Structure 1
Amino acid sequence: MKIGIFFGGQSREREISFAGGRTVYDNLNKSIFEAVPIFVDSKGHFVLLDWQYIYKGTIRDFYPPVDFLPKSDLPVQIYAESLKDLSENDWDKLIAEVGKRIDPSSFNKYMDFAFLAMHGPFGEDGNIQGILEWYGIPFSGAGILPSSIGISKIAQRQFLQQANFDGPKSVILNQADWNSQSHENIFKSLKHKLDLPLVIKAPHQGSSIGVSILIEDDLAKFEHLIQKSFFELEINKAEWDNYSQTEKISFIAKMVDIREGIGLPVIVNEDLLYTPDELMYYLNQSFPAQQESIKLKAIDSEDSLLIESFIEGKEFSCIVIQDEHGRPIALPPTEIRKGKDVFDYRSKYLPGISRKITPIDAPQDIIEKIRTQCSDLFKALQIDVYARIDGFITKEGKVFLNDPNTTSGMLPSSFFFHQAAEIGLNPSQFLSYIIRTSLNARLKSGKHHFELQKMIKKLDKELEGLKNEAQKKINVGVIMGGFSTERHISVESGRNIYEKLSSSEKYLPIPIFLSGTEEQHELFVLPINIMLKDNADDIKDKIKDYHVHPIISQIKFESSEITEKYSHSTNTSLKKISYANLPELIDVAFIALHGRPGEDGAVQTELEQLNIPYNGSDVESSKITINKFETNERLKDAGISVADHRLVFEDKWQSHKEAEIEAIEQQLDYPLIAKPADDGCSSAVKKIKNRSELEAFAGMMFRPQEEFIENLANILKLKKNEEFPQKNFFLLEELIDKKAAKYFLEITGGLLTHFKEDGSIDYEIFEPSEALAGGEVLSLEEKFLAGEGQNITPARYTPEAKNYKKVAEQVKATLKKTAKVLNVTGYARIDAFVRVNEDLSAETIIIEVNSLPGMTPATCIFHQTAINGYKPYDFIDKILSFGTEKMKKQTIAK
C-alpha cells in the first residue's frame, strides 16, 4: 500500500511537522507499506520530495534551493514565502531542484492513502482533509468537522462550555478593540474578570507558539505579551540606533523566527518586506521621520486572542484512540512537569528539559475521571481514530480540558508514541493501527465504500502475515543510556536506531539500557513503554521503582483486541541481565552510548570477550578518541593541525591556583575554549573571555556537590537543567579563528568504513556539513533538536560553487588521514574548523573525533549519508554488517 506522508506546510509548526513526517516515513512497516513523501511548502505547493531531503535538519536547509535564494548579507535563513515575483514556471523550476510538483487531481497516481503529519492552519483545520476527500484519497485521523473545531481555541472554549465541560474563566480580546481602546482599561477589566496570572493564547497556533503567562501586575509586560500573541512588535528608533551590528542581526534573526517572532513577509507602515535584508535596510535607512517607533506585523496575524484565568494544578495530555468497534479508549494520561510556567517549544521537543510522568501522579479515581472526560469530549466532537486532549487537574480534583488536538506531534518521544507504548505498541505497530483504523473511519462518509473495504481486507491479510516474520530476523541489542552528561542524547540515538530497525524486514531490535557506575555496569532489557519515556533519568527512575500501575493493566485489558492484532515480538516486561546473558539474547550489538561508557572501549571490551559483533571502533582506538587531549597529541605528532591545548587538573588547581592561572595565560590567550576532556554533545563547552570566567568554569567543574554553585553558574550563564559534569580535570584550547584566511567555517564530517577484497579497510568520507552556531559555541539544541540547528550540507567552503571540489578534496583528505592515524573503524564523526586561503589552499584544524556519533533523527550525519545514496536504515545496516564481518575476521585470526 502506497502511503503518501503529508508534512511541512504553511503553519508556524512546519518544522515539527517536517520532523514528524520523517518519523512516520522511517517507521512505516517496510513489509507492507511503501512510504511516499509529500512535502507541502509554505506557499501551499505539493511536492513529491526526493527522499534524501527528508533527512535535512530543517526545511530551510534545502528549501528554497540555494540558487533561488535572494542575495543576502545576513546569516539568516528564510522560507519560501520570502520569495517574490516568481511565475508559475519559476516555481516549477525551483521545485524540480528537490522533487516533483504534483497537483491534487493526480494524487491517486502516487498514493493509496494519505498520512497527515501536518499541524496548525491548512494541516489540521479541515482544509487538507477536504481536498483529499474531494479526490477520493482516504486519510488518517479526524474528518473535516472535528478538525475545523479543533483548530480554534476560541471555538473549542465555546463548545466545551456549551457541552458542560469545566474550564477556566475566559475572555476574547479582539484586535479591533485592542487597537482602539485604552490598554490600561483592557488590562484592568481582564484583571477584574480573571485575576492574575493571565494566560494569553493565539487561538490558531500549536506547540505553545503565541502562548504566554503574565504573572506580575505590569502594564508594559502585558502590552508586550499581547503584541507577541498578535504577532506584532513595536521597535523604538532610539533603541534600534544604539544597537551594534551584531545586536541588529540577532534582533532580525529572532524577529523572523516563525516560532518565537513574527516571521516573513512583515508589514511595516503599509509596506510589505520579504527578506531580512529588506527589513534591516528599512530600519537603518527608511525609519519614517518624526516617528519614535514603528510597528511590525505578521502577514498572517491573529484577529482575536483567548485570555484565560490561570489554573493551579497538574498539567496533563491524553491520547484517545478507537477500538475495533469505534469506541474511544483513553490511554494513560501523562503529567507534564516543566521547568517554567509554559510548556514551550524547547520543553516539548528537546529531551531532558521537561519530565513526562505516565500515568499522571494522582489517585486512580482521578485518573479514571480524566480518562472518562477525555473520551466524552472525543465523542462529543465526533473525532475519529485518535486525538490528543490536554488539560489540568486541580487540587480539588476538578478536570479542566482545554485543548483537543486532532493531530499530535509525531517525534519519537511525543505523547502520540509515548502513550501507545503503554499498551505494548511500538511506533511502527502504532502507525499500522492508525492507517487501518482510519480506513475504517472513512467508511462513515458513505463514499468509495467498495474500494475502502477492498483495501481493509488486503491490509488485514498482510497484518496477519507479519506474526511469523520475527523468528527469521537478526536480533540486535541496542545499548543506550549510560550515566554521563550525554545520557539523554544517547537514549534519543538508541530509540532512533531501534525504530529504524523495528520497521525493517531484516532485524529485530532489543532495547538494552545501561546504568550503574564506571566500576559496575548494570544492564536491563526494556519493555517498549519504558524505552519511550522522556529521557534517561525517567527510564532510570522507572527501573528503580518498576511496577505495572493498576490503571495501565486496566487499559491493556480494554485495548487487548488492538494489541493482539498489531503487536508481535514486543517485550512487555523489564528484565535485569548481565553481559554473560547477551549471547542468548542477541546476535549483534549496536552501542548507542556517548561519552563514558561506550566511547571509551569499556563496553567493547565486554562484547569482545563474548564474541558479539558491535558497531564502531575497537577498544584501543576508542580509548584514544574519548580523550581529547590524547587525540590532539596523536594528531599533532602526525602533522595534522589541532588547537593549542592544555589539561587542567583539580589537585594542581586547588594547591597552586595562581601559578596555574599564570601558566595558562602564558600559553593561551583569551578568549579560549574550556571543555570536559572526555565528554561530547557540547556538554559544558564554554567560550572563556577572562580570568573570572576561567575561575568560574574550574569552580563548577571541580565542585564537590552535584548541585550548581549559583554565583559561578550565573557567571557562565548556565541554563536551568543544563548538563555540567563534575570532573577532576578539563581541557583548555585556543579559540580557532580566521587569521589571514579568506574564508573560515566550522564543519562536521562523517565517514563509513568497508572491507576491500584483500581485507584492508577502505574509508568512505562523506561530504561534511557546515555547522552554523547561533551563539558562541554549537549548542545541544543546534546539534540535536529537530528544526533548531542550521547545518548546510555540503559545506560552503567558498561562495563560488566551481571552487568546491578543489577545497573539499583537501578537507576530506585530512579527515581520512585523521581516521587512519587514530585507527577509526566502522563509522565516526569528525569536527573541525577550515581556513580557506586566497589560492584555495585549505587548512583543516581537527577539534574532536566521535567514535560513536549521535544518531538522533535530526543529526547531520544522515544529511551526509543521503548524498551518498544511503537512507538512515541503509547506513545502520552497513554499520552492523561491517561490525559482524570484523568480528568474523578477528575470530578467524585468533
Structure 2
Amino acid sequence: MKIGIFFGGQSREREISFAGGRTVYDNLNKSIFEAVPIFVDSKGHFILLDWQYIYKGTIRDFYPPVKYLPQSDLPVQIYAESLENLSENEWGKLISEVGKKLEPSEFKEYIDFAFLAMHGPYGEDGNIQGMLEWYGIPYSGAGILPSSIGISKIAQRQLLQQANFESPKSITLNKADWKSHDHSNIFESIKKELGLPLVIKAPHQGSSIGVSILNEDNLEDFEKLIQKSFFELEIHHSEWSSYTEDEKIKFIAKLVDIREGIGLPVIHNESIIYTPDDLLNTLNQKLSSNSESIKLQAIDSEDSLLIESFIEGKEFSCIVIQDENGKPIALPPTEIRKGKDVFDYRSKYLPGISRKITPINAPQDIIEKIRTKCANLFNALQIDVYARIDGFITEEGKVFLNDPNTTSGMLPSSFFFHQAAEIGLNPSQFLSYIIRTSLKARLKTGKHHFELQKMVKKLDTKLEGLKNEAQQKINVGVIMGGFSTERHISVESGRNIYEKLASSEKYLPIPIFLSGDESKHILHILPINIMLKDNADDIKDKIQHYEVHPIISQIKFECQDITDKYVSDGTNELKKIEYSDLNNLIDVAFIALHGRPGEDGAVQSELEKLNIPYNGSDVESSKITINKYDTNEILKKAGISVADHRLVFEDKWQSNKEAELSAIEGQLNYPLIAKPADDGCSSAVKKIKNRAELEAFAGMMFRPQAEFIESLAKTLNLKKNEEFPQKNFFLLEELIEKKDAKYFLEITGGLLTHLNHDGSVRYEIFEPSEALAGGEVLSLEEKFLAGEGQNITPARYTPKSEEYDKVAEQVKNTLKKTAEVLNITGYARIDAFVRVFDDLTAETIIIEVNSLPGMTPATCIFHQTAINGYKPYDFIDKILSFGTEKMKNQTIEK
C-alpha cells in the first residue's frame, strides 16, 4: 500500500510537522507499506520530495534551494514565503530542484492513502481533509467536522461549556476592540472577570505558540503579551538604539522565528517586508530619532484571542484511540512536570527538559475520571481514530479539558508513541494501527465504500503474515543508556536505531539498557514502554522501581484486540541479564552508547569474548579516540593539524593552583576552550575568556559533590539542568580562529568503512556538514534537536561553487588520513575547523573523533549519508553488515 506522508505545511508548526513526517516515513512497516513523502511548502505547493531531503535538520536547510535565496549579509535563514513575486513557472523550476510538483488531481497516481503529519491551519482544520475526500483519497485521523472544530480554541471552549464539561472562566478579546478601546480599561475588566494569573492564547496555534501566562498585575506586561499573541510588535527608538550590531542581528533572528516571533513577511504601514535584510534596514531608518517607534504585524495573524483564568493543578495529556468497534479508549494520561509556567515548544520537543509521568500521579479513581472525561469529549466532538486531549486536574478532583488536538506531534519522544507503548505497541505497529483504523473510519462517510473494504481486507492479510516473518529475522541487541553525561543522547540514538530496525524486513531489534558504573555494567532488556520514557534517568528509575500500575493492566486488557492484531514480535517484559546471556538472545549488537562506556572499548571487549559482532571501531582504536588528548598527540605526530592542547589534573591544581595557572597562561592565550577529555555531545564545552572563568571551570570539574556550586555555575552561565561532569582532569585547547585565511568554518564529517575482498578496509568519506553555532560553541539542541541546529550539507567552503571540489578533496583527504592513523572501522564522525586560503589550499584542524557518533533522527550524519544514496536504515544495515563480516573474518583467522 502506497502511503503518502503529508508533512511541512504553512503553519508555524511546520518544523515539528517536518520532523514528525520523517518519523512516520522511517517507521512505516516496510513489509506492507511503501512510504511516499509529500512535502507541503509554506506557499501551499504539494511536492513529491526526493527522499534525501527528508533527512535535513530543518526545512530551511534545503528549501528554498540556495540559489533562489535573496542576497543577504545576515546569518538568518528564511522560508519560501520570503521569496517575492515569483511566477508559477519560476516556482515550478524551484520545486524541481528538490522533487516534483504535484497537483491534487494527480495524487491517486502516486498514493493509496494519505498519512497526515501536518499541524495547525491548513493541516488539522479540515482543509486538507476536505480536499482529499474530494479526490477520493482515504486519510489518517479525524474527519472534516472535528478537525474544523479542533483548530479553534474559541469554538472548542464554547462547545465544552455547552456540553457541560468543566471549563475555566474565559473571555474572547477581538483585535478591533483592542485597537479602539483603552488598554487599561480592558485590563481592569478582564482582571475583574477572571482574576490573576491570566492565560493568553492565540486560538489557532499549537505547540504552545502564542501562549503566555501573566502572573503580575502589570499593564505593560499585559500589553506585550497581548501583542505577542496577536503576532504584532512595537519597537521604540530607545530600545533599538541600545543594541550593538550583533544584538540587532540576534533581535532580527528572534523576531523572524515563526515559533516565538512574528515571522516573515511582516506588514509595516500597509507595505510588506519580505527579508531579514530589508527588515534590519527599515528598523535602522525608521528608528533614527528619539520620538520614533515602529509597529510590525505578521502577514498571518490572529483576529481574536482567548483569555482564560489560570487553573492550579496537575497538567496532563491523554491520547484517545478507538477499538475495533469504534469505541473510544483513553490511554494512560501522562502528567507533565515542566520547568516553567508554560509547557513551551522547547519543553515539548527536547527530551529531558520536562518530565512525563505515565500514568499521572493520582489516585486510581481520579485517573479513571480523567480517562472517562477524555473519551466523552472524543465522542462529543465526533472524532475518529485518535486525538490528543490536554487538561488539568485540580486538588479538589475537578477535571478541566482544553485543546483537543486531532493531529498529535509525531516525534519519537511525543505522547503519541509514549502512551501507545504502554499497551505494548512500538511506533511501527502503532502507525499500522492508525492506518487501518483510519480506513475503517472513512467507511462511515459512505464514499468509495467497496474500494475501502478491499483495502482493509488486503491489509488484514498482510498483518496476519507478519507474525511468521518475525521468527526469520536477525536479532539485534541495541545497547543504550550508560552512565556518562551523554546517556540521554545515547537513549535517543538507541531508540532511533531500534525504530529503524523494527520497521525493517531483515532485523528484529531488542532494546538493552546499560547502567551501573565502570566496575560493573548492569544490563536489562527493556519493554517498549520503558524504552520510550523521557531520558536515561527516567528509564533507570523505572527499572529500579518496576511495577505495572493497575490502570496500565486494565487498559492493556481493554486493548487486547488491538495488540493481538498488531504486535507480532518483541518483548514486553523487563528482564535483567548478564553479558553471558547475550549469545542466546542476539546475533549482533548495535552499541548506541556515547562516551564511557561504549566509546572506550569496554563493551566491545565483553562482546568479543562472546564472539558477538558489533558496530564501530575495535577495542584498541576505541581506547585511543575516547581520550581527546591522546588523539591529538597521535594526530600531531602524524602531521595532521590539531589545536594546541594541555591537560589539567586535579592533584596539580589543588596542590599549586598559581603555578598551574602560570603554566597554562604561558602556553595558551585567552579565550581558550575547556572541555572534558573523555566526554562528548557538547557536555561542559566552554569558551573561557579570562582567569576567573578558568578557575570556575576547574572548580566545577573538580567539585567534591554532584550538586552545582552556585557561584561557579553563575560565572560559567550554566543552565539549571545542564550536564556538567565531575572529573579529575580536563582538557584545554587553543581557540581555533580564522587568522589569515580567506574563508573559515566549522565542519563535522562522517565516514563508513567497507571490507575489500582481501580483508583490507576501504574508507568512504561523506561530504562534511557546515555547523553554524548560535552561541560560543555548538549546543546540545543544535546538534540533536529537530528544527534547531543549522547544519548546511555539503559545507560551503567558498561562495563559488566551481571552487568546491578543489577544497573538498583536501578536507576529505585529511579526514581519511585521520581515520587511517587512528585505525577507525565501521563508521565515525570527525569534527574539525577548516581554513581556506587565497590559493584555495585548505588546512583542516581536527578537534574531535567520535567512534560511536550520535544517531538521533536530527543528527547531520544522516544528511551526509543521503548524498551518497543511503537512507538511515541502509546506513545502519551497512554498519551492522560490516561488523558481522569483520567478526567472521577474525574468527576464521583465529
The TM-score with structure 2 as length reference comes to 0.99
CA distance in 1, matches of 2:292, 2:97: 45
Confirm whether residue 81 of structure 1 aligns to residue 81 of structure 2. Answer: yes
1:249 aligns with 2:249: yes
**Partner of residue 331, structure 1:** 331
Match of 1:261 in 2: 261
Asked whether the 8 Å contact 2:237–2:288 carries over to 1, the reply is no
Q: Distance in 1 between matches of 2:78 and 2:763?
A: 36
- Counterpart of 1:798 in structure 2 is 798
**For 1:156-171, what aligned pairs fall within 5 Å after superposition?**
156-171=156-171
Query: Which position in structure 2 is the counterpart of 1:357?
Result: 357
CA distance in structure 1 between the aligned counterparts of 2:729 and 2:109, rounded to whole angstroms: 62
CA contact (8 A) 1:753 1:762 kept: yes
Correspondences of 1:248-327 after superposition (within 5 Å): 248-287=248-287, 291-327=291-327
Deviation at 1:291, TM superposition (A): 4.5
Mapped partners of 1:719, 1:189: distance in 2: 39
C-alpha distance after superposition, 1:565-616 (max 9, x if no partner) = 0011121110000000000000000000001110011100100001000000
Output the CA distance in 2 between the equivalents of 1:705 and 1:304.
Answer: 52
Contact 2:237–2:290 (CA under 8 A) maintained in structure 1: no
Measure the CA separation in 2 of the matches of 1:184 and 1:657.
59
Shift of 1:702: 1.2
SS of the equivalent of 1:540 reads helix
What SS does the corresponding residue of 2:444 show, helix, strand or coil?
helix
**Does the CA-based 8 Å contact 2:286-2:292 persist in structure 1?**
no
The one-letter code of the counterpart of 1:870 is Y
Equivalent AA in structure 1 for residue 668 of structure 2: L
1:769-848 equivalence runs, <5 A: 769-848=769-848
Q: Which residues in structure 2 correspond to 1:56-455 (within 5 Å)?
A: 56-287=56-287, 291-455=291-455
Q: Residue 597 of structure 2 aligns with which residue?
A: 597
Residue 17 of structure 1: SS of its match in structure 2? helix
Matched, 1:581 2:581: yes
What is the CA RMSD across the aligned residues, in angstroms?
Answer: 0.9
Counterparts of residues 634-649 of structure 1 (less than 5 Å): 634-649=634-649
Quick check: 1:664 aligned with 2:701?
no
* Displacement of 1:292: 2.1
Amino acid at match of 2:255: M
CA distance in 2, matches of 1:239, 1:329: 53
Cα distance between partner residues in 2 of 1:220 and 1:566: 55
Query: In the alignment, what sits opposite 1:675?
Result: 675
Corresponding position: 1:24 with 2:24: yes
Whole-Å separation in 1 of the counterparts to 2:524 and 2:728: 30
Question: Residue by residue, what CA displacement relative to the aligned partner does 1:603-647 show, whole Å, maximum 9, x if unpaired?
Answer: 001000010000000011111111011111111111111111111
Are the equivalent residues in 1 in contact too, given 2:477–2:512 (CA < 8 A)?
A: yes
- Contact residue 198 and residue 214 of structure 1 kept, 8 A: yes
- 1:845 partner letter: I
Q: Is 386-395 or 687-696 further displaced after alignment?
A: 687-696
In structure 1, C-alpha distance between the alignment counterparts of 2:368 and 2:678, rounded to whole Å: 47
The amino acid of 2:696's aligned partner reads A
Q: Does 1:559 align with 2:559?
A: yes
1:507 to partner: Cα distance? 0.2
Q: How far, CA to CA, are the matches of 1:347 and 1:262 in structure 2?
A: 20
Percent same amino acid at aligned positions?
84
TM-superposition CA deviations, 1:86-131 (whole Å, max 9, x none): 0000000000000000000110000000000000000000000000
Q: Conserved in 1, the CA contact under 8 Å of 2:142 and 2:386?
A: yes
Question: How far 1:159 sits from its partner (Å)?
Answer: 0.8
* TM-fit CA distance, 1:235: 1.0
What residue is the counterpart of 1:533 in the other structure?
Answer: 533
Q: Once structures 1 and 2 are overlaid, which stretch shifts more, 852-861 or 345-354?
A: 345-354
Asked if the contact 2:141/2:384 (under 8 Å) is kept, the reply is yes
Partner of 1:654: 654
CA contact (8 A) 1:201 1:211 kept: yes
The whole-number CA distance in structure 1 between the counterparts of 2:2 and 2:245 is 51
Is the Cα–Cα contact under 8 Å of residues 237 and 289 in structure 2 kept in the other structure? no
Q: For 2:219 and 2:881, how far apart are their aligned partners in 1?
A: 63
- Equivalent position SS for 1:445: coil
Cα distance in 2, alignment partners of residues 743 and 16 from structure 1: 33
Q: Deviation per CA, 1:29-53, whole angstroms, max 9, x where unpaired?
A: 0001000000000000000000000
State the shift of 1:724 in Å.
0.9
Tell me how far 1:705 sits from its aligned partner.
1.4
Q: Deviations over 1:279-310 (max 9, x none)?
A: 01111234486752111111101111111111
Q: Tell me the residue number matched to 1:716.
A: 716
SS at match of 1:367: helix
Structure 2 CA distance for aligned equivalents of residues 197 and 763 of structure 1: 60
**Corresponding pairs, count:** 894
Q: CA deviation at 1:706?
A: 1.2
Q: State the match for 2:7 in structure 1.
A: 7
> 1:734-792 CA distances to partner (integer Å, 9 max, x unpaired)?
11110000000000000000011111100000000000001111000000000000000
Q: Which amino acid aligns with 1:406?
A: T
CA distance in 1, matches of 2:700, 2:167: 45
> Please, which runs of 5 or more residues in structure 2 have no aligned partner?
none
Q: Which amino acid letter does the alignment assign opposite residue 465 of structure 2?
A: G
1:759 is the counterpart of 2:759: yes
C-alpha separation in 2, matches of 1:225 and 1:461: 54
Cα distance in structure 2, aligned partners of 1:369 and 1:493: 37
Q: Which residue of 2 aligns with 1:488?
A: 488
Once the two structures are superposed, residues 51-70 of structure 1 have per-residue CA deviations (whole angstroms, 9 ceiling, x without a partner) of 00000000000000011111
**Structure 2 residue aligned with 1:736:** 736
Which whole-Å CA distance do the structure 1 matches of 2:326 and 2:892 have between them?
58
Q: What amino acid sits opposite 2:856 in the alignment?
A: T
TM-score between the two structures when normalised by the length of structure 1: 0.99
Q: Is the 8 A contact 1:49 1:100 kept in 2?
A: yes
Could you tell which deviates more after superposition, 131-140 or 719-728? 719-728
Amino acid at match of 2:710: E
Q: Which position in structure 2 is the counterpart of 1:687?
A: 687
CA distance in 1, matches of 2:449, 2:271: 51
Any idea what SS the aligned residue of 2:404 has?
strand
1:424·1:570 contact (CA, 8 Å) conserved in 2?
Answer: no
Structure 1, unmatched stretches of 5+, are: none
Find the aligned partners of 1:659 and 1:216 in 2 and give their Cα distance. 52
Measure the CA separation in 2 of the matches of 1:665 and 1:432. 61
Is 1:425–1:570's contact at 8 Å kept on the other side of the alignment?
no
Which range is displaced more, 181-190 or 689-698?
181-190
Q: Is the 8 A contact 2:286 2:293 kept in 1?
A: no
**Which whole-Å CA distance do the structure 1 matches of 2:344 and 2:662 have between them?**
44
Matched AA of 1:722: E
Contact 2:82 2:275 (C-alpha < 8 Å) held by counterparts: yes
* Partner Cα separation in structure 2 for residue 298 and residue 254 of structure 1: 14
Name the SS for the 1:750 alignment partner: strand
